Each structure stands twice: as structure tokens, then as C-alpha cells.
């Protein structure tokens, strides 16, 4: 039986592993602690993408300098406008880099990139 490593009250390490199955998972703990704070206010959150290896990042057309490659980013599933609005309210209190897609919201804590930005895909 595999024991899942718990990172916070609501998140396990395997939730942030590269989706290709390679096992890459160098997720940043500050990022995890921030998303936990959002989770406590918002409710359940489903992570669709956390860490990415270079091959998977290329497969999903991620940017060559994607923060996912360094474990500083995650994408949260969000498929309707009401949930997106509620989630953005909570995320904007904790994150200063937010990307909005019709199916997910991206957040990251990449200190090497410009902050206080919000973009759309």
C-alpha cells in the first residue's frame, strides 16, 4: 500500500506531480502554503497541472520559461463563470501572478518574473 505524503491539511504531494508520469515533483512549499490559504476560504480545489518536465511542457505547448518547470506554478480547474469569479477573489488576495483560461486559472510565485499581473490565454 502506497502512503501519500501530505503537504498541508488539504493537499498531497502527488497532486503536483508532472502529468506525463515521469515523477518530476519539485513543487515549491511557499506556493503550496498559499494555495492552502485559498483552499481554506474557497473550498475544494482541483489541481490540473503542477510541476512539468521539459518534455511534458513542450507537449502541452507551455512557454519555454514556464514557471511549472521550476515548481513555482499550478493550474486550478475552473469551468464556469461563477466559480471563476469566486476563486479569483480569493486568489487575488494571496497571489500577484494570475493567468485566466476558460478551463483553469494559473497562479505562480516565480520571483524571477514581473509581479502584479493578470493575463488571459
What is the enclosing helix (H) or strand (E) of 119?
Answer: strand 117-120
The per-residue pLDDT for range 2-60, each reduced to its tens digit, is 889 999 999 999 999 999 999 999 999 999 999 999 999 999 999 999 999 999 999 99
Report d(CA 56, CA 39) in Å as an integer: 27
Q: Which three cell numbers stand for residue 61?
A: 505547448
Containing 97, the helix (H) or strand (E) segment is strand 97-100
Under CATH, to which class is 13-120 assigned? alpha beta
Q: Beta 73-77 vs 97-100: how paired, if at all?
A: unpaired
Question: Residues near 77 by Cβ (< 8 Å), separated by ≥ 6?
Answer: 46, 47, 48, 103, 104
pTM for this entry: 0.94
Domain boundaries, the chain: 13-120
Alpha-carbon span 72 to 16, nearest angstrom: 11
The pLDDT tens digits for 62-73 are 999 999 999 999
| 3 state DSSP class of 12 | strand
CA separation for the pair 1, 93 (Å, rounded)? 39
Model pLDDT, residue 32: 98
Amino acid at each position: 500500500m502506497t502512503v501519500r505524503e501530505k503537504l498541508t491539511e488539504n493537499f498531497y504531494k502527488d497532486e503536483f506531480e508532472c502529468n506525463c508520469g515521469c515523477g518530476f515533483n519539485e513543487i515549491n512549499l511557499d506556493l503550496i502554503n498559499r494555495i492552502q490559504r485559498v483552499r481554506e476560504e474557497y473550498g475544494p480545489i482541483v489541481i490540473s497541472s503542477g510541476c512539468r518536465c521539459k518534455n511534458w511542457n513542450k507537449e502541452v505547448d507551455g512557454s519555454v520559461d514556464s514557471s511549472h518547470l521550476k515548481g513555482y506554478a499550478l493550474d486550478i480547474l475552473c469551468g464556469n463563470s461563477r466559480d471563476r469569479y469566486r476563486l479569483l477573489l480569493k486568489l487575488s488576495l494571496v497571489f500577484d501572478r494570475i493567468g485566466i483560461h476558460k478551463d483553469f486559472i494559473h497562479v505562480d510565485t516565480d520571483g524571477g518574473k514581473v509581479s502584479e499581473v493578470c493575463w488571459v490565454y
